[in-house]
Amino acid sequence: MPLRTHRVTPFLWYDGQAEEAAKFYVSVFKKGSKVTHSSPLTTTFVLEGQPFIALNGGPNFKFNEAISFSIDCKDQKEVDYYWSKLLSGGGRPSQCGWLKDRFGLSWQVVPRALGECLGGRDAAGAQRAMAAMLKMGKLDVKKLRAAYKG
């Protein structure tokens, strides 16, 4: 299992789809992303500089929402891109910017504007932005900012 460049590396358990999942994620994140090794048991890959190990461990364990990966999106265009790509092939949308990809892995697709609204100086605006977010599936930057402004 090569690829030990970080002290902490996410280790993901799949039921026979480790290489398929790695290739899918690399195709979504492209920049600084690649599959670095594949064998019948493990596949190692890098997404934008972050190494991962994927194991073909069998059906014993499934992903759940207790673990997710958050994607920092600079704008709505990035939110739309990641939301669409990660849902492709059988993913399922959820609430508040969360989704599960076709392998069952949870992702949070988060625009920077969310942090700006929720962490802004206007406490009432932050509450309005939070209320707006709770009604959304995919996060909408314009609606979040409009809610914050009142």
- What confidence tens digit (pLDDT) does each residue in 63-120 have? 999 999 999 999 999 999 999 999 999 999 999 999 999 999 999 999 999 999 999 9
pTM higher than the cut 0.75: yes
Asked whether the predicted pLDDT for residue 3 surpasses 60, the reply is no
Query: Using CA atoms, how far apart are residues 5 and 8, in angstroms rounded to an integer?
Result: 9
Q: Which whole number is the average pLDDT over 112-137?
A: 97
Q: What pLDDT is recorded for position 138?
A: 98
56 within some domain: yes
Q: Within this chain, do residues 12 and 46 fall inside the same structural domain, yes or no?
A: yes
Query: Using CA atoms, how far apart are residues 108 and 122, in angstroms rounded to an integer?
Result: 25
**What is the DSSP code (8-state) at residue 15?**
S
Residue of 64, 86, 74 whose CA lies nearest to 115: 74
- What confidence tens digit (pLDDT) does each residue in 7-60 have? 899 999 999 999 999 999 999 999 999 999 999 999 999 999 999 999 999 999
What the block records as the tokens of 57 is 């461990």
Q: Within this chain, do residues 34 and 89 fall inside the same structural domain, yes or no?
A: no
Q: Within this chain, do residues 57 and 130 fall inside the same structural domain, yes or no?
A: no
3 within some domain: no
Q: Within this chain, do residues 84 and 41 fall inside the same structural domain, yes or no?
A: no
Q: Within this chain, do residues 110 and 67 fall inside the same structural domain, yes or no?
A: yes
Give me the number of domains the chain comprises: 2
Burial class (CB in 10 A: 0-12, 13-18, 19+), 63: middle
Residues in a beta bridge with 106: 68, 100
Domain region containing 122: 63-150
Query: Using CA atoms, how far apart are residues 29 and 52, in angstroms rounded to an integer?
Result: 13
The domain boundary residue, chosen from 41, 61, 81: 61
Q: What pLDDT is recorded for position 6?
A: 74
Q: What pLDDT is recorded for position 4?
A: 53
Q: Work out the percent of the chain whose per-residue pLDDT is above 70.
A: 97
Q: Within this chain, do residues 50 and 72 fall inside the same structural domain, yes or no?
A: no
